[in-house]
């Protein structure tokens, strides 16, 4: 079984492109903090490249940005290529099957405005008792 589950923050804005056949693909990388501290007492992070396809790619490009927190569920995929100097390079990517957006969703102006309430809340001393015990079904 090849299954990866990661939670982290985007290290750069997602890049959306389209294949020759018109399929959307989005690429970004996430930083995932380790569960332990190093000898200096700092928590290190690992960086992973993520590839997302089709509608999920378009949604990631639309709603994620550098610093966004997300959960990625997918699989590892290895590939090789030959560099300009003739050496063979190996790359491991996460191919996302699902991406969950974590944290708040920013509005166009930046921060999310507070919710408006239609009526002021009453304190417990202002509440009136209800004498309606006869109409309860139990």
- Give the separation between CA 24 and CA 58, rounded to whole angstroms: 7
Q: Is residue 17 helix, strand or coil?
A: strand
What is the structure's pLDDT at 101? 95
Topology, domain 1-34+43-105: OB fold (Dihydrolipoamide Acetyltransferase, E2P) (2.40.50)
DSSP state of 119: S
What is the structure's pLDDT at 112? 40
What is the structure's pLDDT at 132? 59
- Give the separation between CA 24 and CA 20, rounded to whole angstroms: 10
What is the structure's pLDDT at 134? 62
What is the structure's pLDDT at 127? 62
Give the C-alpha distances (Å, rounded to integers) separating 38 from 6, 33, 41, 43, 80: 20, 12, 5, 6, 32
Ranges of each domain in the chain: 1-34+43-105
What is the structure's pLDDT at 123? 56
What is the structure's pLDDT at 133? 60
What is the structure's pLDDT at 81? 93
What is the structure's pLDDT at 103? 78
DSSP state of 37: E
Per-residue pLDDT of the chain (138 residues; tens, 9 = 90+): 999 999 999 999 999 999 999 999 999 999 999 999 889 989 999 999 999 999 999 999 999 999 999 999 999 999 999 999 999 999 999 999 999 999 766 555 444 444 344 455 545 556 666 665 666 555
């Amino acid at each position: 079984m090849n299954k990866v589950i990661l939670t982290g923050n985007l290290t750069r804005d997602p890049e959306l492109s389209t294949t020759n056949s018109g399929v959307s693909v989005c690429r970004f990388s996430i930083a995932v903090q380790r569960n332990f501290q190093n000898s200096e007492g700092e928590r290190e992070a690992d960086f992973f490249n993520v590839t997302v396809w089709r509608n999920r790619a378009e949604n990631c490009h639309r709603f994620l940005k550098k610093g966004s927190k997300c959960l990625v569920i997918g699989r590892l995929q290895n590939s090789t290529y030959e560099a300009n100097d003739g050496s063979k390079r190996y790359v491991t990517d996460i191919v996302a099957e699902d991406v969950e957006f974590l944290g708040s969703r920013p509005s166009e102006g930046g921060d999310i405005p507070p919710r408006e309430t239609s009526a002021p809340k009453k304190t417990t001393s202002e509440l009136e008792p209800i004498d309606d015990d006869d109409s309860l079904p139990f």
